Chain A
Amino acid sequence: MPKGTGWKDIPLGGLILEAGNSVEYKTGGWRAFRPVRDAEKCIHCLFCWIYCPDSSILVQDEKMVGFDLEHCKGCGVCAQVCPVKCITMTPETEFEKEK
C-alpha cells in the first residue's frame, strides 16, 4: 500500500484546494543529466529562463544565478538554447561519485 492520506482526510472529487502546491512535488529525482553552467561565459540573456518548462532557472536582479535542482528534470532545453553554450548537461552519475 503506498504511503499517503486516507480517503476520509482528502478533499472530495480529486480537488486540489490549495493553489500552487505543485512546488511541493519534487521532480528533481527524475533527472538523468544535470545542467552545469560556466558562470564566466554566461551573458545573462535569460533565454534559459524563458524556455525552461519547469521554472527551474533561478534569477536574481535580472541575473541568472543557478538552477532549482529540486524541480529541474534535466530536459536540456536550457543548454540547447544558450547562445554562448555555457550550459553542459552532465550525467548525474558523476555527482553520485562526488558523494
Chain B
Amino acid sequence: MREILALDGNAAVAHAMRQINPDVVAAYPITPQTSTVQTFSEFVANGLVKTEFITVESEHSAMSACIGAAAAGARVMTATSSAGLAFMWETLYIAASYRLPIVMLDVNRALSGPINIHCDHSDTMGAREAGWIQIFSENAQESYDNFIQAVRIAEHPDVLLPVMVMHDGFITSHAMERVELLTDEEVRNFVGEYKPAFPTLLDVHNPITYGPLDFYDYYFEHKRQQVEGMAHAQEVILEVAREYEKLSGRKYGLFEAYRLEDAEVAIVVLSSTAGTTKAVVDKLRAQGKKVGLLKPRVFRPFPAKELADALRHLKAVAVMDRSISFGAMHNAGPLYLEVLSAQRIYGGSMPVVDYIFGLGGRDIVPAQIESVYDDLFRILETGQVERLVTYLGVRE
C-alpha cells in the first residue's frame, strides 16, 4: 500500500534511493545534504537495501568512486551540496563524458565565501556546463518524484548522461511536508533492472577501455556525441514523465505553467520560491490582476522553444535568479540569460527583466514577490524599463 508520510526533502529522497535500491552509493557528508545519505546509510545498515555504501574522504573521491562503480556496471547514486559539488568539478565532466548514468541529489547551497550554509543556486549554476541533466524541485514531493524519474532518464539509451536533481537547502531539505510514496514494488518496476549500455569493466569476456587519451583527433567527436545525448534528453524526460504520471497521478513537464494562459505579466523562477509565488499569484488574481508564473523544472537541457512559446503572449516578464553570473551581461543571473536568449531566437518582444534574490539564504517573502509584479505592471503603464537587473532584498 502507498504510504503518506511526514518527511523533509532529504528524507524523501533517501526513501526514493531505498526504493530504487542502487548497487552503489558513494558519498561524503556536507550541510545541508548530510541527512540524505545519513538516512540512507541507516537503510543500508538495517538491510533494507543491497547497496554497497562507500564512505570516502572527499566529494572528489565520492564522484570518482561513483564513476568507477558505474563503469563497472553498477547503478550508482550520490548526493552533495555547494562546496562538495565544487570539489567534484573535474569528475562531473568525466562522469558526463564517459556517458555514465549516475544520479545525484544536489541540495542547493551558496558557495563560499564568505562561508555560508544556506540556500542559493550558485552551486548548480556553476556546474551547468558540465554535461549533466539538471532538474529542479519545488518541494519534497517533487524531489522524490524527480529522483525516481532521473534513473530512467539517465539510463535511457538515447541519453546516457548523468542527472542532477535539486531541491532548496533548508527551505526544502529540512522542511517536513506531506509526501506520498509509491510502493517499493511500483518503484522497482518503474526503474526496472539496470542493464548497462556497454560492456563493463568487470566483464572479463569483453574487455574494454574506459578513459583513454583522446586528443584533437577524436575528443571533438566525443563532445559532439554528448550534445546528441542532451538533445534527446528533452523528449525522454517528457516520455518518462508521462509514464510516471500514469503510475503516480502526478504530472511533470519541462516546466510548470501556473495561471499563465491568460496572464499579462509573469514571473519565471525555480524551486521553492515558485511555490511561494503561486500563493502570491492566487492573491493578486483574487484582486483581478492577470498575473502568472512559469517554473522551469528542467534547466539542462534548457527548453528554449517551449519556454519562449509559453511566454510569447505576455506583456512583460520578470525572471528571478537565485545566483549571479558574475561578469555576464549586466551581471545578470543564468536563468535570465537563458530566457532572454530563448526569446531572441524564438520570438517575443516583451520586456524581460531580472531580479537577483535570496543569495546565501536571504529570506524571500510574498511581499517582495508582489513588488516584482507591481514593477511589471509599472512597465506596462509607462512603457519604460528602469532597470534590467534589480537586487531584491539587498541593503543599499
Contacts and interface: CB of A to CB of B under 8 A. Distances in A.
Establish whether A and B are touching in the complex (CB under 8 Å). Answer: yes
Interface of A: 2, 4-7, 10-20
Contacts of A4: 217-218, 221
B310 interface: no
B221 A17 contact: no
Contact of A10 (B98, B99, B208, B221): B221
Contacts of A11: 198
B209 interface: yes
Contact of A13 (B97, B199, B207): B97
Interface string B346-383: 00000000000000000000000000000000000000
Q: Is chain B's interface secondary structure helix, strand, loop, or mixed overall?
A: loop
Nearest to A1: B220
A2 B207 contact: no
Given A11-B198, A14-B218, A19-B208, 10 more contacts: A4-B218, A6-B221, A10-B225, A12-B99, A12-B229, A13-B100, A13-B222, A13-B225, A15-B208, A16-B208
Contacts of A16: 208-209, 212
Given A4-B218, A13-B222, A14-B98, A19 B207 contact: yes
Contacts of B217: 2, 4
Interface in B89-113: 97-100
Given A2-B217, A4-B218, A13 B209 contact: no
A20 B212 CA distance: 13
A14 B207 contact: no
A14 to B, nearest CB: 5
Contacts of B326: none
B209 A12 contact: no
Contacts of A5: 221
B198 A12 contact: yes
A47 B225 CA distance: 46
B233 to A, nearest CB: 14
Given A17-B199, A19-B207, A19-B208, A7 B221 contact: yes
B212 A14 contact: yes
A13 B216 CA distance: 15
Contacts of B206: 17, 19
A14 B224 contact: no
A43 B198 CA distance: 48
Nearest to A2: B217
Interface in B273-327: none
B218 A15 contact: no
Contacts of B222: 7, 10, 12-14
B63 interface: no
B211 A14 contact: yes
Interface in B191-244: 197-199, 206-212, 214, 216-218, 220-222, 224-225, 228-229
A15 B209 contact: yes
A14 B208 contact: no
A15 B99 CA distance: 10
A10 B197 CA distance: 14
Contacts of A17: 198-199, 206, 208
Contacts of A12: 99, 160, 197-198, 222, 225, 229
Instruction: Find the residue from A4, A14, A18 having the highest chain B CB count within 10 A.
Output: A14
Contacts of A6: 221
